[in-house]
Amino acid sequence: MSLEDWSRRVVNEIIDLTRRHNKWRRLETINLIASENVMSPLAEYLYLNDMMGRYAEGPTGGKFYQGTVYMDKLEAICRDLMCDLFSAKYADVRPVSGTVANIAALYAITEANDLVASLPIAAGAHISHRRVGAVGVLRLRTIDLPWNEEEFNIDVDKAAKLIREAKPKVVILGGSVYLFPHPVKELSEVAHEVGAYVVHDSAHVLGLIAGGVFPNPLQEGCDIMTASTHKTFPGPQGGVILTNREDLASKIDKAVFPGVTSNYHQHRYPALAVTAVEMKVYGRAYAEQIVRNARRLAEALHARGLKVLAESKGFTRSHQVLVDVRDLGGGAKCAYLLERANIIVNKNMLPGDKKPDDPSGIRIGVQEVTRWGMMETDMEIIADFIADVLLRHRDPEEVKKKVIEFRKSFREVKYGFKLEDFDVRGCSVLDLLV
């Protein structure tokens, strides 16, 4: 085979796989991954710009490379919009992910061997909160915050006692499994008594905070708020750090650069800025519908016989629903069966689990289906699809056909700007190549 023939074969395979993925995930599946979302057509269009191949080390307005004048202006707009949305005095949008934001935040306020109090992963912590992730990379020690299974939340009294006795340097709240607001105000007061910082990982609930349906941790006493920008906040993949403490702003700035990042993937700035404006305009309606959909889906799954967690607390106040499926073969098996039916969820550890590869639960998020325009009645239909696969043991391939047909009614992204509403000529690099 000639080099030319080989190259064409490989490139055609790449194109085919990309095309198949786009069609499958965008048009034919019900995506219930709690950490994903879709951007608006305008944000997606702006994402493909010349900045994807450029470098921009340094702070806003003080980059160490030439050619960054417009990138700096966009970075400043992103920063100002995020400050406005979250009532923050300082925002850093340069971290390229939520995990990098966590690393930078911890790097700014800790030294090696400092103690961090955070939840176990099975109780909802992200891996970056623990020694297997960012905390371990920074050579920090961990201690577990106590968990109250009845409240499905941090045990405030036991956690307060632990913080006073152990005197950690940092208390991390927020997480990846996040049904109800954490007791930020109560634990921030205790943490500050012993000189500890409070970091709130708002990655999953950033859009709900922006929409005003979830408490703003900065207003409840946390020192640093970190997040990713592509979950309930429906922007491009990236990270953000926010604080109201002037004494921490310069430390965070140095931790981001030259500490843990160099290039900032600044091609995402136009899409991030547009998404922030969208959240300013549509955020409350979007966030309120997310919470209504999550509650209805939880209720519908419960009514059909699935073991939905936190029933006594009303199941959820966020975008997430947790289902205990250990009696149905476990999280790995159930997630696989649902994927065969084009219903995309993820296996997830539940409190008490020890095996991340084969946990007891599945985690469901409704933020993306909400952005496709689905409402409470559609949650009933989704619950039927899930019950068909997991409880009624219907052939996933047959359910898949119904899912594809169902998705035909949801082709337009809601709660965002349309491409045709703006003159975007020249904003995508593809425009310049025609």
pLDDT of residue 126: 93
Tell me the β-bridge partners of 198.
171
Residue type, 248: L
Given a cut of 90, is residue 367 above it in pLDDT? Answer: yes
> If we measure between CA atoms, which residue out of 234, 239, 233 comes closest to residue 42?
234
pLDDT of residue 432: 85
pLDDT of residue 165: 98
Is the full-model pTM beyond 0.85? yes
Query: Contact at 8 Å (CB) between 307 and 79?
Result: no
CATH 3.90.1150.10 in the chain, residues? 31-37+284-407
Phi, psi of 249 (to 5 degrees): -60, -45
Query: Contact at 8 Å (CB) between 126 and 134?
Result: no
The residue behind tokens 């073991």 is 307
Structure token digits, residue 65: 């490379």
SS3 238: strand
CA distances 319 to 162, 178, 313, Å, are 30, 8, 15
Given a cut of 80, is residue 252 above it in pLDDT? Answer: yes
Given a cut of 70, is residue 377 above it in pLDDT? Answer: yes
Q: How many other C-beta atoms can be found within 10 angstroms of the C-beta atom of residue 394?
A: 15
CATH 3.40.640.10 in the chain, residues? 44-277
Query: Contact at 8 Å (CB) between 348 and 362?
Result: yes
Q: What is the CATH number of domain 44-277?
A: 3.40.640.10
Q: What is the pLDDT of residues 56-84, one digit of tens each?
A: 999 998 999 999 999 999 999 999 999 99
Q: How many other C-beta atoms can be found within 10 angstroms of the C-beta atom of residue 417?
A: 18
> If we measure between CA atoms, which residue out of 156, 125, 123 comes closest to residue 309?
123
Residue 389 binned pLDDT confidence (cut-offs 50, 70, 90): very high
Residue 315 binned pLDDT confidence (cut-offs 50, 70, 90): very high
Read off the pLDDT of each residue in 227-231 and give the average, rounded to a whole number. 98
Residue 22 binned pLDDT confidence (cut-offs 50, 70, 90): very high
Q: What is the pLDDT of residues 256-269, one digit of tens each?
A: 999 999 999 999 99
Read off the pLDDT of each residue in 360-386 and give the average, rounded to a whole number. 98
CATH class of residue range 31-37+284-407: alpha beta
Residue 430 binned pLDDT confidence (cut-offs 50, 70, 90): confident
DSSP assignment of 49-73 equals: SGGGG----SSTT--SSSS-HHHHH
For residue 96, what is the DSSP state?
S
Q: What percent of the chain has pLDDT over 70?
A: 100
CA 313-318-319 angle, to 5 degrees, is: 125
pLDDT of residue 296: 98
Strand 361-365, strand 234-243: pairing? unpaired
Read off the pLDDT of each residue in 170-193 and give the average, rounded to a whole number. 97
Residue 434 binned pLDDT confidence (cut-offs 50, 70, 90): low
Cβ-in-10-Å burial (0-12, 13-18, 19+) of 185 comes to middle
* Whole-number average pLDDT of the chain: 96
Q: What percent of the chain has pLDDT over 90?
A: 94
Q: What is the pLDDT of residues 99-151, one digit of tens each?
A: 999 999 999 999 999 999 999 999 999 999 998 888 999 999 999 999 999 99
Residue 355 binned pLDDT confidence (cut-offs 50, 70, 90): confident
